[in-house]
């Protein structure tokens, strides 16, 4: 009787898991398959496989006269690399400094950083735009990068690094100081190599968030300076009609670089997640 009662429940859980999986996988499948289908195939059979597959969508997107894809990818790549390149050393240095403070001061400062995670970024977008306009950095790459360095990105990185720094032996740091190493040298030569999995985790998450960001480039960078790949997808939408094949081709090209970046750093990323789960 117990088995008879558990079987319907187990079947229901299995069906729910299958349904939830389809909800996540189906949009990805549609976007991936549609990138290699013609406009007629997309409209006639949205869920069908490309038969035959075509590369016309990708070539058309790359050969646009306005250079939407090439310029958008280049802009996104520059903004992502510079933003993450500043955030990683800054957040790791701040986290190392926090880990050396007294517990009360450390708790108070972590509460301040927690505010950066609690406040929705949309609520502070207008003040950021006004502040950048006041200092002459609106509609510029430095202004967009500066907005990425602050706020929730920095707070997230600090919290991840602080958690990993708990595993660094304090005796190792004290021994380096006794040998005459400065705090900067201890941070650069001892701490950073030991928290490399945390750096990979932080780098992947921040790179994906900056790459996929839409509102900040739209309002801060603006159309006069240029556009990122996310705003380029928005621009590619027609007013009265949409070339869905080209749209999905642009989306495929926009997702290719983050996927390649993850594949190159997945080993350190998985190590970081496993280390975080074991603490």
Write down the pLDDT at residue 2: 46
Write down the pLDDT at residue 93: 93
Write down the pLDDT at residue 206: 93
Write down the pLDDT at residue 226: 64
What pTM, to 2 d.p., does this model score? 0.82
How far, in Å, CA of 50 to CA of 166, rounded?
Answer: 51
Per-residue pLDDT of the chain in tens (279 residues, 90 and over written 9): 444 454 666 777 888 888 888 888 988 898 888 889 988 888 888 888 888 888 888 888 888 887 888 888 889 999 999 999 999 999 999 999 998 888 888 889 888 888 888 888 888 888 899 999 999 888 888 999 999 998 789 999 999 899 888 888 888 888 888 888 888 898 998 888 888 888 988 998 999 999 999 888 988 887 655 678 888 888 777 555 578 888 888 888 888 888 888 787 777 667 666 655 455
Write down the pLDDT at residue 6: 46
Write down the pLDDT at residue 241: 57
Write down the pLDDT at residue 225: 56
Two tokens at 157?
A: 């990185």
**Structural domains in the chain plus CATH codes:** 2-56 (no CATH), 58-278 (1.10.3720.10)
> Residue 91 in contact with residue 161, Cβ under 8 Å?
yes
């Amino acid at each position: 009787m117990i088995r008879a009662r558990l079987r319907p429940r187990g079947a229901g859980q299995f069906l729910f898991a299958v349904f939830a999986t389809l909800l996540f996988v189906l949009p990805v499948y549609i976007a991936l398959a549609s990138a290699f289908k013609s406009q007629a195939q997309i409209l006639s059979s949205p869920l069908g496989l490309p038969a035959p597959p075509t590369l016309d969508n990708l070539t058309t997107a790359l050969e646009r006269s306005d250079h939407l894809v090439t310029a958008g990818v280049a802009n996104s790549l520059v903004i992502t690399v510079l933003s993450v390149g500043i955030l990683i050393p800054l957040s790791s240095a701040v986290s190392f400094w926090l880990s050396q403070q007294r517990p009360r001061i450390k708790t108070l400062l972590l509460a301040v950083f927690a505010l950066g995670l609690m406040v929705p970024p949309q609520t502070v977008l207008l003040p950021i735009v006004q502040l950048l306009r006041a200092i002459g950095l609106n509609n510029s790459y430095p202004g967009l990068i500066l907005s990425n360095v602050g706020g929730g990105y920095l707070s997230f990185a600090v919290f991840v690094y602080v958690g990993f720094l708990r595993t660094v032996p304090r005796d190792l740091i004290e021994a380096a100081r006794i040998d005459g190493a400065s705090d900067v040298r201890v941070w650069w030569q001892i701490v950073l190599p030991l928290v490399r999995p945390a750096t990979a985790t932080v780098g992947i998450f921040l790179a994906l968030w900056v790459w996929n960001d839409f509102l900040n480039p739209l309002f801060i960078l603006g159309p006069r300076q240029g556009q990122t790949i996310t705003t380029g997808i928005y621009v590619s939408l027609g007013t009265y009609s949409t070339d869905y094949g080209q749209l999905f081709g642009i989306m495929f090209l926009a997702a290719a670089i983050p996927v390649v970046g993850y594949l190159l750093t997945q080993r350190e990323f998985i190590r970081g997640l496993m280390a975080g789960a074991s603490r």
